[in-house]
Amino acid sequence: MNLYVHFPFCRSKCAYCALHSRGGVSEATRAAYAARIADEVSRLDFAARGTIYFGGGTPALCDLRPLCAAVRKRFKEIDEFTVELNPCDVTPRLLEDLRAGGVNRLSMGVQSLDDDILRAMGRPHTAVQAEIAFRTIRAAGFDNAGFDLIAGWPGTTVASWGQTLTRACALKPDHVSVYTLIREPGTTLDQSVAEGHVTLPDDDAALAQHDAARAALAEIGLKRYEVSNFSKPGFECRHNMSVWRGEDYVGLGEGAHGREGSRRTVGNTAGGYDVTTLSSEADALERALFALRTVAGLDLCETMKRWPVLSTRMTTWRRELQALVPHGIVRETGCDRFALTDRGFEVCDAVISAIMSAGQDPAT
């Protein structure tokens, strides 16, 4: 079983961010939160083996040592233990604590290596601080480390994005996530766009930046393995891969999502968990179609075997996917195996929702 823990605290809110997090929370509140999560971890009804992911928010705004200790006590074997970091968090002391706590993978939010853009994003660090933080992570002996970038920020020029990519590649990361900016309702960015202070780039400009990132990362040996994720061979994020393979995971903390059998849980702000129970078909649909986010794609025969409840959809899905092949959106990678092309990844969500809504086929 895999475990995701969400930390809903940040120093301040970035302009584009709609994740479940808030700034200005007292140290006492953060300490109480960490203690509560450590208690929940210690009461988990499973042990054995799994991946652990501490995300946020900004996990390092809590004391992670007792939490790491609780996790290590509960899990006999940990396949991968990731913590998300902000460049401002990174100190040799923190890294030492994380290593001692069993953390073996770090993922840092960098987003850009252009100071003007970082300021506009509301990030609390500079480009140089991010570079120093990454080098400090390496110096501390972490040999599985990477960071996130955001493509399509308003006003990003070809030269500025090129600079960001050059500096990012010079850090020799093992893993990079490149997210295309989304205008999320309720964010500062959303408001600035609505008031006419900021104009978002058109889709082509954002996609061109994503393409440039793909080419630059390929040159340092990082290959795309999911819509937004690139890694050296063997450095794919195991935790996220298991989510995309449709496996279960427990989500602890405010805003954390979990998937346990047909149950979906979301941590609420009262310290409890809201639970939704899906039908076996809805559960299988969600799990199966995540595969289209990955370069490995969807194996229809395998899917049918794993989730017989979907078998009546197979003929329809095969037909829908084959119809996208001549458009360069889908490629057939084997008998009844389909994956999105790079062009297809640009419209991944639309393809998944089209396949999801493709109804049962009476012919099967």
Residue ranges in contact with ligand SF4 by CB under 6 A: 10, 13-14, 17, 19, 21, 56-58, 86, 109
Cβ-based nearer residue to ligand SF4, 109 or 146: 109
Q: To the nearest whole angstrom, how small is the minimum distance from the Cβ of residue 213 to ligand SF4?
A: 18
Helix or strand run (H / E) with residue 109? strand 105-111
Q: To the nearest whole angstrom, how small is the minimum distance from the Cβ of residue 234 to ligand SF4?
A: 27
Cβ-based nearer residue to ligand SF4, 40 or 148: 148
CA pair distance 73, 44, nearest whole angstrom: 11
Q: To the nearest whole angstrom, how small is the minimum distance from the Cβ of residue 10 to ligand SF4?
A: 3
Torsion of CA 234, 239, 241, 244, to 10 degrees: 180
Q: To the nearest whole angstrom, how small is the minimum distance from the Cβ of residue 111 to ligand SF4?
A: 7
Q: To the nearest whole angstrom, how small is the minimum distance from the Cβ of residue 147 to ligand SF4?
A: 12
Cβ-based nearer residue to ligand SF4, 29 or 42: 29
Amino acid at 59: P
CA pair distance 282, 74, nearest whole angstrom: 31
User: For residue 318, what are the CA distances in angstroms to 301, 334, 355?
Assistant: 10, 12, 10
Q: To the nearest whole angstrom, how small is the minimum distance from the Cβ of residue 153 to ligand SF4?
A: 13
Q: To the nearest whole angstrom, how small is the minimum distance from the Cβ of residue 217 to ligand SF4?
A: 21
Cβ-based nearer residue to ligand SF4, 7 or 273: 7
Residue 189, classed as helix, strand or coil, is helix
270 token code pair: 């009262």
CA pair distance 130, 116, nearest whole angstrom: 14
User: For residue 52, what are the CA distances in angstroms to 12, 45, 105, 252?
Assistant: 26, 15, 10, 11
Residues 6+ apart with CB under 8 A from 27: none
Cβ-based nearer residue to ligand SF4, 17 or 132: 17
CA pair distance 191, 318, nearest whole angstrom: 42
Q: Which of 74, 121, 84, 70 is nearest to 7 (CA)?
A: 84
Query: How big is the chain, counted in residues?
Result: 364
Q: To the nearest whole angstrom, how small is the minimum distance from the Cβ of residue 203 to ligand SF4?
A: 22
Residue 272, classed as helix, strand or coil, is coil
Cβ-based nearer residue to ligand SF4, 2 or 58: 58
Cβ-based nearer residue to ligand SF4, 84 or 283: 84
Q: Give 275's strand partners.
A: 265
60 token code pair: 């390092």
Cβ-based nearer residue to ligand SF4, 21 or 104: 21
